[in-house]
C-alpha cells in the first residue's frame, strides 16, 4: 500500500470496510418479511412482488464475480465509494418507489452496487492484516457476515410493524453516509492496483450477465413455476447453460478477462470454492427451512422464529474470534473438519424435531449450527485465498462469494422443491390409513365428534368438524416428515464435504 495507507490502523480499516459489507448483507434479507406490506402499497400480485427479491439477487450475483476487474479499471477506492453512493441513493429511491416497476428497477441498482461491497471488503481486510493474522481477519469478517442474516429479518419485521416498510430502505442512508466518509479517510489503493487501460472483455461481460442472470432466475423461480414444466424456466436453463459454457471458453482465451478463471489452477482455491459452494447449500437450506417449519407447523410468530435463530448468530460471533486466534499457529483443516462434524450433528438433532417440541428443543441445535459455521468460515476463507496474488485478490474474493451465494440458491431451491414433493408423497401415504377399517381412526373421529356436539353442534356439523381436524393433522404430520427428511439430507451434505478437505493445504506464513 501507499505510505499514507500504511499509517492507518488495521482496526480502523476493518471497521471501515465492515460497515458497507454489513449493510449489504442485512439488505439481502431485510425485505423478505415486508413483502406482504409492499404488495398492498405497490398494488402488486403475490407472484409479482417476489421480483423485489429476485431482481436484487440477480444484479448482485452478476456484479460479484467482476468486482476485481472493475476495481482495476476504475481504481478500488473510487469504485468502492461509487458502489456505496449508488447503494445509498438506490435505498432512498426504493423507499420512495411509487409502484412495482420503479421498485424493481431501483432494487436492480441497489443489488448491482451491493454485489461488489463484500468481495472488496474481504480483499481489503486480507491485505490489511499480516499473513499470520489472516485467520483473525477472516474471523472478524465472518462475524459481520453471520450477524447480518440474524439482524436483517428481525430488524425488518420490527420496522415494518412499528413504522412502515419504506424505512427498511431509509435506514441505509445514514449508514451509507458514514461509510463514504470513512472509506474516503482510511482506504487507499495499493501501488500494484492502479487503474488499468486494457482491451475491454465485451464477450465476457455479455456472457456473464446473461449466464448468471438466467441461472439466478431459474433457481429463484423454478419451484414457483414447477421447474421444467414451464417453458420460461426451460428457456432460462438453456440460456444459462450455453452462456456459462461459452463464458468459460471466452475467459480462458482473453488476455484481460472480466473473471479470471485461471485462478482455479491453484488446487487450494479450486477445492476451497467447491467446499464453500456446499457450505452455502447447507447454510441457506437450513436457515430457510427452520423458520418456515416454526411458523407454518408450530404456529410461531416471525418474532419468535427470529428468537430461535438469533442464538445461532451469537454462537458464531463468540466462536469466530477464538478460531481466528487458533489459526495463528494451528491447522485450519482440523477446525473445518470439526465444524463440518458439528454441523452434521446439529442437523441430525433437527431431524428429530416433533410437533410437541419446546422452544429450547429448537434453539440448541441452531446454537450448535451457528458454532459450526463459525468454525468453518474463517479457516476456509484463509486457506482458499492463501496462494492468490494480491493483484488478483478482488477477483478471487468475488468468485468465492459468488459460489457461496449460488450454493445457497441451490440449497433453497432443492429444499423448497423437496418440501413440496415430499409433503404430497407423505400426505398420500398417510391418507391411505384414513379409512373406515382403522379402529384408532374411528375412535379418534368419535371422540372429536362427541366434543363438537358437546359444544352445541348438530350431528352433521360435528362429523364435518371432526373430519376437518383429522385432515389438518394428516397434513401437519406429512409436512413434519418432509422437514425431517430435508434436515437429514442437509446433514449428510455436511459429511459429504469432508473428502474435499484433503485438497486443502495449510497456508505458508511469510
DSSP states of 466-480 as a string?
HHHHHHHHHHHHHHH
Q: For position 4, what pLDDT does the model report?
A: 40
| Helical pair 202-221 and 393-431, crossing angle rounded to 10 deg | 20
Q: Are residues 54 and 79 located together in one domain of the fold?
A: yes
Q: Are residues 225 and 316 located together in one domain of the fold?
A: no
- In angstroms, the CA 17 to CA 11 distance is 10
Region 490-510: what's the mean pLDDT? 79
Domain that residue 272 falls in: 262-510
- In angstroms, the CA 112 to CA 122 distance is 17
- Domain end residue (candidates: 158, 173, 198): 198
This prediction's pTM: 0.77
Q: Are residues 107 and 248 located together in one domain of the fold?
A: no
Q: The C-alpha cell of 311 is what?
A: 442464538
Domain count, the chain: 3
Minimum mean pLDDT range among 73-77, 396-400, 459-463: 459-463
Asked if 98 and 288 touch (Cβ cutoff 8 Å), the reply is no
Q: Which CATH number covers residue 410?
A: 1.20.1250.20
Region 279-285: what's the mean pLDDT? 84
In the block, which residue shows the cell 484463509? 382
Asked if 343 and 376 touch (Cβ cutoff 8 Å), the reply is yes
Q: Are residues 55 and 70 located together in one domain of the fold?
A: yes
DSSP states of 427-488 as a string?
HHHHHTT-STT-HHHHHHHHHHHHHHHHTT--HHHHHHHHHHHHHHHHHHHHHHHHHHHHHH
Region 414-424: what's the mean pLDDT? 85
Q: For position 380, what pLDDT does the model report?
A: 87
Q: Are residues 165 and 204 located together in one domain of the fold?
A: no
In the block, which residue shows the cell 427498511? 168
pLDDT digits (tens, 9 = 90+) for 170-211: 888 998 899 899 888 887 777 666 555 556 778 888 888 888
Q: The C-alpha cell of 436 is what?
A: 373406515
- Domain end residue (candidates: 198, 221, 244): 198
Q: Are residues 191 and 206 located together in one domain of the fold?
A: no
132 Cβ contact list (under 8 Å, min separation 6): 328, 509
pLDDT band at 224 (very low <50, low <70, confident <90, very high): confident
Amino acid at each position: 500500500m501507499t505510505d499514507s495507507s500504511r499509517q492507518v490502523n488495521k482496526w480502523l480499516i476493518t471497521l471501515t470496510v465492515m460497515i458497507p459489507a454489513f449493510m449489504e448483507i442485512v439488505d439481502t434479507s431485510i425485505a423478505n418479511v415486508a413483502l406482504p406490506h409492499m404488495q398492498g402499497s405497490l398494488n402488486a400480485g403475490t407472484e409479482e412482488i417476489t421480483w423485489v427479491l429476485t431482481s436484487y439477487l440477480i444484479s448482485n450475483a452478476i456484479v460479484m464475480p467482476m468486482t476485481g476487474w472493475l476495481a482495476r479499471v476504475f481504481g478500488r477506492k473510487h469504485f468502492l465509494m461509487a458502489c456505496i453512493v449508488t447503494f445509498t441513493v438506490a435505498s432512498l429511491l426504493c423507499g420512495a418507489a411509487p409502484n412495482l416497476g420503479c421498485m424493481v428497477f431501483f432494487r436492480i441498482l441497489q443489488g448491482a452496487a451491493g454485489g461488489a461491497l463484500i468481495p472488496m471488503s474481504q480483499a481489503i481486510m486480507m491485505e490489511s492484516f499480516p499473513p499470520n493474522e489472516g485467520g483473525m481477519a477472516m474471523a472478524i469478517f465472518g462475524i459481520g457476515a453471520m450477524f447480518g442474516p440474524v439482524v436483517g429479518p428481525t430488524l425488518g419485521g420490527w420496522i415494518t410493524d412499528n413504522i412502515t416498510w419504506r424505512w427498511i430502505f431509509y435506514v441505509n442512508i445514514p449508514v451509507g453516509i458514514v461509510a463514504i466518509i470513512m472509506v474516503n479517510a482510511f482506504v487507499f489503493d495499493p501501488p500494484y492496483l492502479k487503474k488499468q487501460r486494457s482491451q475491454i472483455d465485451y464477450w465476457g461481460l455479455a456472457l456473464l450477465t446473461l449466464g448468471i442472470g438466467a441461472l439466478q432466475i431459474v433457481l429463484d423461480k423454478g419451484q414457483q413455476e414447477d421447474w421444467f414444466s414451464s417453458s420460461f424456466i426451460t428457456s432460462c436453463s438453456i440460456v444459462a447453460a450455453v452462456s456459462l459454457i461459452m463464458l468459460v471458453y471466452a475467459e480462458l482465451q482473453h488476455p484481460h478477462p472480466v473473471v479470471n478463471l485461471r485462478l482455479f489452477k491453484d488446487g487450494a482455491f479450486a477445492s476451497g470454492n467447491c467446499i464453500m459452494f456446499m457450505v452455502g447449500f447447507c447454510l441457506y437450506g437450513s436457515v430457510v427451512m427452520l423458520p418456515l417449519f416454526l411458523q407454518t407447523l408450530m404456529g410461531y410468530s416471525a418474532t419468535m422464529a427470529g428468537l430461535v435463530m438469533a442464538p445461532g448468530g451469537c454462537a458464531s460471533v463468540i466462536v469466530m474470534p477464538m478460531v481466528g486466534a487458533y489459526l495463528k499457529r494451528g491447522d485450519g483443516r482440523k477446525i473445518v473438519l470439526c465444524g463440518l462434524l458439528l454441523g452434521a450433528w446439529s442437523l441430525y438433532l433437527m431431524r428429530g424435531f416433533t410437533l410437541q417440541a419446546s422452544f429450547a428443543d429448537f434453539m440448541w441445535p441452531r446454537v450448535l449450527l451457528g458454532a459450526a459455521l463459525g468454525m468453518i468460515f474463517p479457516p476456509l476463507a484463509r486457506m482458499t485465498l492463501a496462494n492468490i496474488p494480491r493483484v488478483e485478490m478482488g477477483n478471487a474474493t468475488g468468485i468465492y462469494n459468488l459460489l457461496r451465494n449460488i450454493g445457497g440458491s441451490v440449497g433453497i431451491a432443492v429444499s423448497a422443491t423437496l418440501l413440496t414433493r415430499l409433503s404430497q408423497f407423505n400426505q398420500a401415504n398417510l391418507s391411505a390409513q384414513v379409512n373406515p377399517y382403522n379402529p384408532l381412526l374411528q375412535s379418534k373421529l368419535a371422540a372429536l365428534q362427541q366434543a363438537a356436539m358437546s359444544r352445541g353442534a348438530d350431528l352433521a356439523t360435528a362429523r364435518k368438524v371432526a373430519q376437518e381436524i383429522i385432515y389438518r393433522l394428516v397434513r401437519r404430520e406429512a409436512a413434519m416428515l418432509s422437514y425431517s427428511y430435508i434436515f437429514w439430507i442437509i446433514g449428510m451434505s455436511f459429511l459429504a464435504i469432508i473428502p474435499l478437505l484433503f485438497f486443502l493445504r495449510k497456508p505458508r506464513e511469510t
